[in-house]
């Protein structure tokens, strides 16, 4: 008797998953160990040469620029994996670059040039392996056991937060008690262990080879569509000229904002042109390839609407830490240790959602699909910033209160994170055609780059006298106003995401058994 369509037969999780999970736990400890003390280190040590009033702003800019780099380099890693090296080799070799970056942080803690070079190497290594690791997990499954993939992706996300929890709790203590060399050196050691664990599983992995040169690839189909008519070529030219014009923002806003804005403009305008002209590529390219490009473009619209979530989420390691510095707390407790609350809540919420919340909602006839979860998650992130903004108003009024009150916005933001980020990993993999999995996962990671771009743009905008005068007229301080602005940004994104998701056609691109 065969299993009903609603019942998935029990299958064993592939044994090689344990190596990937072990690697991810150590790698995430290394990454979050250095990331969560970075703002504090910059303010108190590396940027101590600046006037005290300028240090916090400069630290936020360095932090979010680093995060932009981390989530930009997945484009490179996904391309290398899909076209040349394969996922396994890309992960292994860029992990060695990653280790070198940690070494630079530990050795050059008093050298701006050496330290920033270490951050650049970590951005390259960490960012380059990001799309490969998550899609490498998906490669270990096929149609016969794909129902187990969601469990593993959740476990994958759980172990990320397991490593992040202990790193967030311990590294501030090591930074204060033993100095930056030790505090940055320990994450480097964990990254080396992560690389060794991954290498040990080399004989057990399912290795999907890189795709050979494909005349019907995403870029080739897109190029054909744009070249089919003068109107299409105009779209391409407008995209290029707008991107080049965006580089003119560099003198006022900095090179990072300018480059990222140019990239967003090129992808958005070029993608719009391809969408409008795509059917003209039929005949030159098979229908399957053309339909695949349209599917990717649909996903990119949803990805873009996720970017405001990351604007809010990543500021918990910058803006929220700086807010925590103003709150009452025990002398032994460091503001950056509040970061440990996020992964601790994730480890609780993932099993709670899967075992209690989603089944309960299903019994009442409401299925929490991937897109419904992501819509709700963006909205919850906005709610957390309403709360933290209200707290900032009280602090700006001269009333100091306990840091314990930050637990509430952390809980709301983390609930949103579980709904968006853990879901997004599996969603991105399932929607990607086979030849473009690494690339599409790179675009998922690129949403974080764009999210942090919005943070830099807003921070740069509040330096404008017209903007600061307007903020002053509202009666709010600059920080509180920004917090409410980001909350509204998230609510608007959640609304549009939900409307777009209603008509989105779900795809199933797991490989055949």
Question: How far is the C-alpha of 265 from the C-alpha of 276, rounded, in Å?
Answer: 17
Question: What pLDDT does residue 4 have?
Answer: 41
Distance CA 510, CA 143 (A): 6
Nearest to 435 by CA among 185, 115, 218: 218
- Which range of 203-207, 461-465, 494-498 scores highest in mean pLDDT? It is 494-498
Contact 3, 9 (CB under 8 A): yes
- Rounded to an integer, the average pLDDT of 202-230 is 87
CA distance 39 to 168: 13
Q: pLDDT grade, residue 427 (50/70/90)?
A: confident
* Cα separation, 203 vs 41, whole angstroms: 41
Per-residue confidence at 136, pLDDT binned at 50, 70, 90? confident
What average pLDDT does the segment 76-98 reach? Answer: 90
Question: Once rounded to an integer, what is the mean pLDDT over residues 484-496?
Answer: 97
Per-residue pLDDT of 373-392, as tens digits, reads 999 999 999 999 999 999 99
Compute CA distances 432 → 84, 152, 362, 444, whole Å: 19, 18, 27, 11
Q: What is the pLDDT of residue 1?
A: 36
pLDDT, tens digit, for every residue of 91-104? 999 999 999 999 99
Give the mean pLDDT of 446-459: 90
CB count in 10 Å sphere of residue 178: 12
pLDDT band of residue 368 (cuts 50, 70, 90) is: confident
Stretch 312-341: mean pLDDT: 92
pLDDT range class, residue 513, cuts 50, 70, 90: low
pLDDT, one tens digit per residue, over 15-67 is 888 898 889 889 999 999 999 899 989 998 888 878 887 888 888 889 999 99
pTM equals 0.82
* CA-based end-to-end distance of the chain: 20
């Amino acid at each position: 008797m065969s299993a009903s369509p609603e019942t998935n037969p029990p299958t064993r999780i592939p044994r090689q998953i344990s190596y990937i999970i072990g690697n991810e736990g150590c790698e995430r400890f290394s990454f979050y160990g250095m990331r969560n003390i970075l703002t504090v280190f910059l303010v108190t040590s590396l940027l101590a040469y600046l006037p005290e009033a300028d240090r916090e702003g400069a630290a936020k800019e360095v932090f979010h620029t680093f995060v932009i780099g981390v989530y930009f380099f997945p484009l490179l890693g996904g391309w290398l994996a899909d076209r040349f090296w394969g996922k396994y080799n890309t992960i292994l070799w860029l992990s060695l670059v990653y280790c070198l970056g940690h070494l630079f942080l530990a050795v050059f803690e008093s050298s701006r040039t050496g330290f920033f070079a270490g951050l650049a190497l970590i951005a390259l290594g960490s960012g380059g392996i990001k799309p490969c690791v998550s899609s490498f997990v998906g490669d270990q499954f096929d149609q016969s056991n794909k129902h187990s993939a969601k469990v593993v992706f959740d476990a994958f996300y759980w172990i990320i937060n397991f490593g992040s929890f202990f790193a967030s709790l311990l590294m501030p203590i090591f930074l204060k008690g033993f100095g930056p060399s030790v505090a940055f050196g320990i994450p480097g050691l964990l990254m080396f262990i992560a690389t060794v664990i991954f290498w040990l599983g080399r004989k057990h992995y399912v290795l999907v080879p890189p795709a050979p040169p494909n005349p019907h690839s995403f870029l080739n189909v897109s190029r054909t569509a744009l070249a089919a008519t003068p109107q299409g070529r105009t779209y391409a030219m407008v995209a290029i000229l707008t991107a080049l014009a965006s580089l003119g923002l560099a003198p006022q806003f900095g090179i990072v904002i300018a480059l990222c804005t140019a990239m967003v403009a090129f992808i958005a305008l070029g993608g719009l042109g391809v969408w409008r002209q795509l059917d003209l590529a039929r005949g030159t390219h098979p229908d399957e390839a053309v339909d695949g490009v349209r599917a990717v473009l649909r996903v990119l619209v949803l990805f873009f609407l996720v970017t405001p979530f990351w604007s809010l989420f990543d500021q918990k390691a910058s803006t929220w830490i700086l807010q925590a510095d103003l709150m009452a707390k025990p002398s032994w407790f460091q503001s950056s240790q509040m970061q440990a609350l996020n992964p601790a809540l994730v480890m609780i919420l993932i099993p709670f959602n899967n075992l209690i919340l989603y089944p309960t909602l299903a019994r009442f006839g409401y299925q929490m699909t991937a897109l419904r979860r992501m819509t709700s998650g963006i909205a919850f992130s906005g709610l957390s910033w309403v709360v933290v903004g209200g707290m900032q108003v009280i602090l700006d009024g001269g009333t100091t209160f306990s840091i314990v009150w930050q637990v509430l916005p952390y809980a709301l933001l983390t609930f949103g994170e579980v709904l968006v980020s853990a879901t997004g990993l599996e969603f991105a993999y399932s929607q990607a055609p086979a030849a473009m999995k690494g690339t599409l996962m790179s675009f998922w990671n690129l949403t974080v780059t764009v999210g942090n771009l919005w943070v830099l743009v807003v921070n740069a905008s509040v330096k404008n006298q017209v903007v600061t005068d307007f903020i002053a007229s509202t009666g709010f301080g600059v920080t509180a106003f920004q917090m409410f602005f980001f909350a509204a940004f998230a609510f608007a994104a959640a609304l549009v995401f939900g409307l777009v998701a209603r008509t989105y056609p779900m795809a199933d691109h797991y490989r055949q058994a």
